[in-house]
């Protein structure tokens, strides 16, 4: 029997990322960061040059201050062009050796479930899984921020033939997608139990074993909970859209200045990912879920 491999289902990640990105772009453009928007517009033109096989530009941002301020429509179009591939990156993060079912993935990659905000092995503790997965999100969004800054603020000379602004951007986009995937997975009830009344509180992190996968008692099973339309999952899916939007904005709104990013990211993660094992009021499906820690 085929075992489900994709949290929120394949299209669930697509829905989350698409809505969050659309909202983030709209909010970013309204901030009026004219220099940043000029650079995104130039980079979007560079992407089109790349798509048509034209040679890369050098000194891409030479005299960028003399460019006219882009209109809202121009800025949004540039950002949508550049970030069009983000949804696919988030979805494709599910495709790796560690996610092969029937125990094969765990044998090939004993840390493979870190990117899915789950316990990687039976002996992995909740605290260890939390630290590893939160660290994965932080590290990848930091990598994204650094590569996007390179893409937007580096002038490459003719002699630097191995680097380009668009290549930097794609590296940043990939890192962002991998970080967002883990953040989104943390709201999937088959992966993570969050307090039903305060969903910023993580009360348990599950292990992808037969007990997690199959329905029993009041536990509907991993596959059922990965359906965004499931009554249990729906409110967490909505919360995931908000968090995904916030994380995209933390990266993009701080690109002009390197100082506030680290603090802004930590603050956002502190708010949305709080480990508090043992919810104050556990719903039935959490009481029978695998390895749930009941309140003392």
Its pTM stands at: 0.88
At 54 the pLDDT is 78
Closest Cα to residue 80, out of 23, 159, 123?
23
Neighbouring-strand partners of residue 274? 201
Neighbouring residues of 166: CB distance < 8 A, sequence distance ≥ 6: 43, 46, 47, 50, 56, 151
Q: Within a 13 Å sphere around the CA of 26, how many CA atoms are in the beta-carbon half?
A: 7
Burial class of 15 by CB neighbour count within 10 A (0 to 12, 13 to 18, 19+) = middle
Q: Are 225 and 234 in contact (CB under 8 A)?
A: no
What is the separation, in whole angstroms, between the first and last Cα of the chain? 39
Which two three-digit tokens encode residue 137? 């999100």
From first to last of its 296 residues, the chain has per-residue pLDDT tens of: 344 455 566 678 999 999 999 999 999 999 999 999 999 999 999 999 888 877 778 789 999 999 999 999 999 999 999 999 999 999 998 876 556 565 655 555 557 799 999 999 999 999 999 999 999 999 999 999 999 999 999 988 765 666 799 999 999 999 999 999 999 999 999 999 999 889 999 999 999 888 988 999 888 998 899 889 999 999 999 999 999 999 999 999 999 977 799 999 999 999 999 998 765 555 555 544 544 443 33
Residue 118 DSSP class: S
The burial of 291, by beta-carbon neighbours within 10 Å (0-12 exposed, 13-18 middle, 19 or more buried), is given as middle
In the prediction, which pLDDT does 257 show? 78
Q: Please tell me the predicted confidence (pLDDT) of residue 254.
A: 96
Domain borders along the chain are 9-287
pLDDT at 242: 97
State the pLDDT at residue 50: 86
Q: Give the helix/strand (H/E) hosting 30.
A: helix 9-30
Give the number of other CB atoms < 10 A from CB of residue 3.
13
Residue 159 has a pLDDT of 58
Q: What is the pLDDT of residue 57?
A: 81
DSSP of 120-136: SSTT--HHHHHHHHHHH
State the DSSP code for 202.
E
Bridge partners of 194?
202
Instruction: Give the per-residue pLDDT at 2.
Output: 40
* Cα–Cα dist 288/220, whole Å: 10
């Amino acid at each position: 029997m085929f075992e489900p491999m994709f949290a929120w289902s394949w299209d669930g990640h697509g829905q989350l990322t698409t809505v969050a990105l659309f909202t983030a772009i709209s909010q970013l453009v309204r901030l009026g960061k004219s220099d940043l928007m000029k650079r995104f517009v130039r980079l979007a033109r560079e992407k089109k040059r790349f798509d048509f096989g034209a040679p890369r530009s050098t000194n891409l941002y030479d005299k960028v201050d003399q460019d006219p301020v882009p209109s809202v429509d121009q800025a949004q179009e540039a950002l949508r062009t550049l970030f069009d591939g983000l949804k696919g990156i988030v979805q494709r993060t599910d495709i790796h050796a560690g996610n092969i079912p029937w125990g094969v993935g765990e044998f090939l990659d004993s840390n493979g479930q870190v990117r899915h905000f789950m316990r990687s092995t039976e002996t992995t503790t909740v605290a260890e899984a939390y630290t590893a997965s939160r660290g994965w999100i932080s590290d990848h969004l930091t990598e994204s921020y650094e590569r996007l800054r390179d893409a937007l603020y580096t002038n490459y000379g003719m002699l630097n033939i191995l680097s380009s602004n668009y290549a930097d951007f794609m590296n940043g986009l990939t890192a962002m997608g991998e970080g967002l995937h883990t953040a989104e997975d943390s709201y999937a009830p088959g992966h993570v139990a969050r307090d039903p009344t305060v969903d910023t509180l993580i009360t348990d992190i599950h292990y992808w074993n037969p007990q997690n996968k199959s329905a029993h008692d009041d536990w509907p099973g991993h596959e059922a909970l990965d359906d965004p339309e499931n009554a249990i999952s729906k409110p967490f899916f909505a919360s995931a859209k908000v968090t995904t939007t916030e994380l995209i904005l933390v990266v993009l709104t701080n690109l002009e200045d390197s100082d506030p990013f680290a603090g802004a990211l930590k603050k956002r993660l502190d708010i949305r990912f709080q480990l508090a094992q043992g919810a104050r009021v556990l719903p039935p499906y959490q009481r029978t879920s695998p390895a749930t820690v009941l309140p003392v």
